[in-house]
Chain A
């Protein structure tokens, strides 16, 4: 029963992350290349970390707890490991590619930011969403698998 709740919570948090990502790419990323001040906290712009740090931390804790709670159930564990791998790939790609570039956009003089370079970043950033979707589907598949076993 507890393991079902933990896996369901991980699923809810994965979906919340996907929703945040879809909103960010549809609304924020569509606007800021023409108005970089929008994502520059030093100039009164928004700071996306106030969503992503708690959202990712909560999901990662729930996912690890779900893996620990269901380790003996082989097929559930396999789905959760797929979710973990897709999430880790997305996080590493972000850490070494997207975040450093985003930080430089956030700190640069808005006049020096080329809109085309900013738009390229936003277009590539959308490619993280399929990884988020895969994470969601894998956690929901783990939930189905666990439900049929308990």
Chain B
């Protein structure tokens, strides 16, 4: 059995996975910290929240950004890295698998919950009180998704360094 990371294809997959994970995490953190407060607006005077579905539709982040960064590319890279990591051996295997599995959980959460829920929230058909509750839950679970992204990125970087350390041996 060949040492998988020594193949150029496997190394390219790991390079792309690391870069895409980092970009997705940075973009997600930017969105959460800067853009989401424009959608789920907090009023300091009353302490209440307001869900602005129109602002989300105008931002249209799914089409403008996420489709090109995560929906297609990161999903494919996660699955490809999972397969190659599974077939790899040596000390990097568990780090590579940890990264791929952590991101796979994030991808499943995205397709099963985050995308359909946001489409429903963007529609603006929910009553305001219900929309705020659903949006607050979305924001809370998004923090879990960020945590998975951090685990995946750090584990992928560890696998990345081990792949090159192994190559020398």
| Interface, chain A (partner B; CB < 8 A) | 4, 8-9, 11-12, 14-24, 26-28, 30-31, 38, 44-48, 50-51, 55, 136, 140, 143-144, 146-148, 150
Cβ distance B26 to chain A, nearest Cβ, rounded Å: 2
Cβ distance A56 to chain B, nearest Cβ, rounded Å: 12
A4 to B29, CA, bound (A): 25
Which residues from chain A contact B64 at a C-beta distance below 8 Å?
26-27, 30
**Is B164's beta carbon under 8 Å from chain A?**
yes
Cβ distance B93 to chain A, nearest Cβ, rounded Å: 16
Cβ distance A25 to chain B, nearest Cβ, rounded Å: 10
Cβ distance A3 to chain B, nearest Cβ, rounded Å: 11
Contact between chains at B153 and A15 (CB < 8 Å): yes
* Candidates A15, A50, A148; contact of B165 at CB < 8 Å: A148
Which residues from chain A contact B158 at a C-beta distance below 8 Å?
8
Q: Of residues A14, A20, A44, which shows the largest number of chain B Cβ atoms within 10 Å of its Cβ?
A: A20
Which residues from chain A contact B33 at a C-beta distance below 8 Å?
50-51
**Is B83's beta carbon under 8 Å from chain A?**
no
Q: Give the top 4 A-B pairs by smallest Cβ distance, nearest first.
A: A15-B22, A19-B26, A16-B26, A23-B27
Cβ distance B58 to chain A, nearest Cβ, rounded Å: 7
Interface size class of B (residues with CB under 8 A): 35 or more
Cβ distance B61 to chain A, nearest Cβ, rounded Å: 5
* Candidates B24, B31, B61, B164; contact of A144 at CB < 8 Å: B164
A17 to B24, CA, bound (A): 10
Near A by CB (< 8 A), chain B positions 1-57 give 15, 18-19, 21-31, 33-35, 37-38, 41
Which residues from chain B contact A47 at a C-beta distance below 8 Å?
34
* Candidates A12, A38, A143; contact of B22 at CB < 8 Å: A12
Cβ distance B19 to chain A, nearest Cβ, rounded Å: 6
Contact between chains at B35 and A28 (CB < 8 Å): yes
* Candidates A18, A44, A148; contact of B167 at CB < 8 Å: A148
Contact between chains at A20 and B19 (CB < 8 Å): no
